[in-house]
Structure 1
Amino acid sequence: MRRYVLKNLVRDWGLEGAAERAQSYGRVVAELRSRYQDRLAEEGTSPRVLVPGAGLGRLCLDIAKAGFHTQGNEFSYFMLLTSSFMLNHCERPQQWTIFPWALASCNQPSDAAQLRPLSMAAGDFVEVYGSPEQEGQFDCVATCFFIDTAHNIIRYLEVLRHCLKDGGLWVNLGPLQYHWAEAHTYLEPGMADSIEIPLEDVERIAGELGFRMLRREIVVAGFNTNLRSMQVSTYRCAFWTMRLEKG
């Protein structure tokens, strides 16, 4: 987890992560601006956007800066502590120096590359936003590299439907790298349940829940890429906007 937090500091807050942010966060924010440009222009009518899996908070901040009322959701205590520090206790650029790749020993071309420095709503999504008081509370949900973190992706879709207003939008970008797919190899029975379905089935089930596709494309985006590593991975991500029609 320490390594994951360090890598996400690069992605969310480092200059080296700017290109990666543009591939994912930039697309999501641009889509939100395009869809809600009329409401953003009207004073006092800012749409409410939920960002599940908010990580270290950069996408939340970027959406808020674009004029939206934004609420992030994150389960990891490590992420929550670090995002609070970044958002509330950094007073100027390059205030702190960290070494984000120090614990990453694979595919490093040199000591200098490995040790180079970088200047720079808590709770489970289903439990928090599946509750009765969250029904129909958001104009939009923006998910970025998130939906494949589910034990049961169908339950994620049901909660997305639950917390969106009728006519609300779901903007999504990410792959289907199901995080719990191999959990049965290291967790006790009952703790490792995982449903892994293809993209076309995710879209079909979303349609059965009332989501209607407005736009869809496959885009290439990296995630926590060490640009100086001998191995650089990218994903072919589904990028879509759907409208919820509850009626």
Structure 2
Amino acid sequence: MRASYASFGRVGKNLGYKIGYPRKLERTQEAIQANAVITAGICDVAIGDFHDEKLHNSIHDLDSADLGRVRESLKHFVRDWSQDGKIERDKILEPILAVIRPIHESQRASTKVLVPGCGLGRLAWEVAQLGFDTTANELSFFMTLAFRFLLSVESTPTPNAHKAHPYAHWFSHQRSNESLFRSISFPDTVPRLGPNFKLIEGDFLKLSPPDEGYDYLITLFFIDTSLDFFATLAQIHQLLKPGGKWINLGPLLWTGGGQAKVELSLDEVMAAVQERRTVECEYTGDREAMMKWIYKAEFWVAERPVIR
């Protein structure tokens, strides 16, 4: 960005100086350095938790797509673990939590809930806070390492211990530089693993069910990330106990680049679903930006039949 600005002639540079563009580039650098404090902290947690040569060798395999995933992780801190993300979060979490809240408190500790594709874990943590035996599952180390950063007493000892500048890398649709470079504090509450809150890092398709299966399996913005939807559907059926329920909320933004084996319409997906409704919501939205993506996400609850 500095090189691009330096390529302007005298007239362009004078105009840029008049509107304060060089200062904008300085603020960009400052935001990058502030965000690097967080990413360095995540790397410290990774090195401390994984004494594995593969971790150190993997740095040679990075590409531009990885940078995008790091930036998305910063936005997920806002979405999942900041006060700024509460409005977006409430729209998608509340329909799900409303399904399981009626379960009596005396039964929750023995009710097993699996949340695959948990990301930074806020939904799974909320389920565990209600007293359910909760297992969070995530494959991406971009997410699990960021989540471990929040779970660590050393790296995240108190609420709002960190500040990120999650929008500083995206200049489009910004109303002002103050909005562009604003900082967001997180986490609004400190998560910790406990007896009823577990994290399994790995492929959802390779998970084994507990002895009797899960009572609830909750997928949030998850099923369309699968490269093989049919295998995902079969795994959901396998992991649920007879009479267990699958709760889903999300769009059908199938994995791009032709990687997904099938890309189904909503009608095709709904052929096996019992109850549904549409929930309009955002995904890591910037509430101060001039542009918003609104998903008409589908919400449903399906039950694995009991064979008598």
User: What is the TM-score when the length of structure 2 is the normalising length?
Assistant: 0.69
Q: Any gaps of 5 or more consecutive residues in structure 1?
A: 185-191, 208-212
How many residue pairs match? The answer is 224
Aligned to 2:128: 64
User: For residues 69-218 of structure 1, what are the structure 2 equivalents within 5 Å?
Assistant: 69-89=133-153, 90-120=156-186, 121-127=200-206, 129=207, 131=208, 136-180=212-256, 183-184=257-258, 192-204=259-271, 206=272, 213=274, 215-218=275-278
Instruction: Please state how far the C-alpha of 1:73 moved relative to its aligned partner.
Output: 0.7
Aligned mates of 2:86, 2:260 — CA distance in 1: 35
The amino acid across from 1:178 in the alignment is W
Checking the alignment, whether the CA contact within 8 Å between 1:29 and 1:66 is kept in structure 2 is no
| Residue 134 of structure 1, CA deviation | 5.3
Judging changes above 3 Å, is the alpha-carbon distance between structure 1 residues 196 and 227 closer, same or farther for their aligned structure 2 residues? same
User: Is residue 128 of structure 2 the alignment partner of residue 52 of structure 1?
Assistant: no
Q: Considering fraction of residues, name the structure with more strand.
A: 1
Contact 1:135 1:162 in 2 (8 A): no
**Correspondence for 1:187:** none
The CA distance in 2 between the partners of 1:139 and 1:220, in whole Å, is: 27
Q: For 1:94-141, what per-residue CA distance to the aligned partner results, in whole angstroms no more than 9, with x for missing partners?
A: 2111111122222222221111101111111112x2x4x657521110
Question: Is contact 2:113–2:214 with CA below 8 Å preserved after alignment?
Answer: yes
- Between 1 and 2, higher relative CO (CA 8 Å, sep ≥ 6) is seen in 1
Which of 194, 207, 227 is the matching residue for 2:287? 227
RMSD: 1.7
How far apart, in 2, do the equivalents of 1:3 and 1:13 lie?
15
Return the alpha-carbon distance in structure 1 between the equivalents of residues 170 and 137 of structure 2: 27
Task: State the partner residue of 1:10.
Answer: 78
SS of residue in 2 equivalent to 1:24: helix
The secondary structure found in structure 2 opposite 1:166 is: strand
The answer as to whether partners of 2:160 and 2:185 remain within 8 angstroms in 1 is yes
Taking the aligned partners of 1:99 and 1:55, their CA distance within structure 2 comes to 19
Q: In the TM superposition, what is the alpha-carbon distance from 1:226 to its structure 2 partner?
A: 0.5
Q: Deviations over 1:46-71 (max 9, x none)?
A: 31100010000111110000111110
Query: 1-side partners of 2:151 and 2:88: how far apart?
Result: 20
* Alpha-carbon distance in 1 for matches of 2:181, 2:223: 33
Letter in 1 for 2:72: Y
> d(CA) in 1 for partners of 2:169 and 2:255?
21
Check the 8 A contact 1:57/1:87 in 2, yes or no. Answer: no
Does residue 33 (structure 1) correspond to residue 98 (structure 2)? The answer is no
Normalized per residue, the structure richer in helix is 2
The answer for unaligned runs of 5 or more in structure 2 is 1-68, 187-199
Residues 226 and 260, structure 2, Cα contact 8 Å, conserved in 1:
no
Q: Which runs of 4+ in 1 moved over 6 A?
A: none
Measured in 1, the distance between the counterparts of 2:225 and 2:211 equals 22
Kept in 2, the 8 Å contact 1:3–1:104? The answer is no
1:166 positional shift: 0.5
Identity %: 33
Structure 1 residue 45, shift from structure 2 partner: 4.6
